[in-house]
């Protein structure tokens, strides 16, 4: 936090896949609480953690955060607005669901749009940080929530469409996924604006 400013970290998961929603999260952490919770010592960019570590951290983040929220933006909206806009929109929707309004926003990446809370008059200042999920704990926490919630969602979709291997590739463009697309065609969950073949 900057001089006791209430800060929310934001991140998303699922910008690159050919199928499924993009998930976004916002998390406010209390720095004093973070220091007293041992599990936060290994909180890092979700891509640097194992599945087991991410799922072990999720309940800790949910229990210890001042406030947190996760939202999904469906593939149809991604096709309509594009993935970058939907990633930002998802993070802003997550911010809107927080029970505490932040005074400053930390965003993973280098793209952002001014965010004015509903009913508010002033934009909340934001800082974009490339590799922010490896720099700020609140962004790392948001990255863990977004990633684990999206993985759970793709596992549920896999039960409906096992032929695409979504339990393994999570909708990302792999040889297995492309082969299934050639054989079975796209589902309702595929992003039709993406190159599917």
Q: Which two tokens stand for residue 191?
A: 């992003």
Question: What is the rounded average pLDDT for all residues in the chain?
Answer: 95
Q: What ranges do the domains of the chain cover?
A: 7-150
Quick one: CA torsion of 104, 110, 111, 116, rounded to 10 degrees?
10
Predicted local confidence at residue 127, as pLDDT: 98
- Structure tokens, 110: 């280098």
pLDDT of residue 184: 98
CA 154 to CA 150: how far, in whole Å?
6
Pick from 7, 6, 17: which is nearest to 181 by CA?
17
Confirm if 86 and 93 have CB atoms less than 8 A apart.
no
Give alpha helix (H) positions in the chain. 31-36, 51-64, 75-81, 83-97, 137-160, 166-169, 175-184
Say if CB 138 and CB 161 are below 8 A apart: no
pLDDT tens digit string along 80-113?
Answer: 999 999 999 999 999 999 999 999 999 999 999 9
Give per-residue pLDDT as tens, 122-145.
Answer: 999 999 999 999 999 999 999 999
Three-class DSSP category at 144 = helix
Q: Which two tokens stand for residue 169?
A: 């590739």
| The pLDDT value given to residue 92 | 98
Q: pTM (2 decimals)?
A: 0.95
Closest among 70, 64, 74, 57 to 10, alpha carbons compared = 70
Architecture of domain 7-150: 2-Layer Sandwich (3.30)
Spans of the chain, pLDDT less than 70: 1-3
């Amino acid at each position: 936090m900057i001089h006791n400013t209430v800060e929310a970290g934001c991140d998303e998961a699922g910008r690159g896949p050919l199928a499924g929603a993009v998930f976004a999260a916002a998390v406010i952490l209390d720095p004093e609480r973070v220091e007293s919770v041992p599990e936060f010592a290994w909180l890092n960019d979700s891509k640097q953690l194992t599945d087991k570590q991410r799922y072990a951290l999720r309940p800790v983040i949910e229990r210890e955060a001042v406030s947190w929220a996760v939202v999904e933006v469906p593939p149809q909206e991604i096709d309509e607005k594009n993935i970058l806009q939907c990633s930002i929109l998802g993070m802003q929707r997550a911010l809107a669901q927080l029970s505490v309004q932040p005074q400053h926003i930390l965003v993973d990446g280098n793209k952002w749009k001014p965010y004015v809370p509903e009913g508010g008059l002033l934009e909340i200042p934001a800082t974009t940080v490339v590799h922010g999920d490896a720099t700020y704990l609140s962004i790392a926490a948001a990255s863990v929530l977004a990633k684990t919630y999206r993985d759970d969602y793709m596992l549920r979709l896999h039960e409906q469409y096992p032929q695409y291997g979504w339990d393994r590739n999570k909708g990302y463009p792999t040889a297995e996924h492309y082969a299934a697309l050639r054989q079975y065609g796209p589902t309702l969950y595929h992003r039709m604006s993406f190159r599917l073949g």
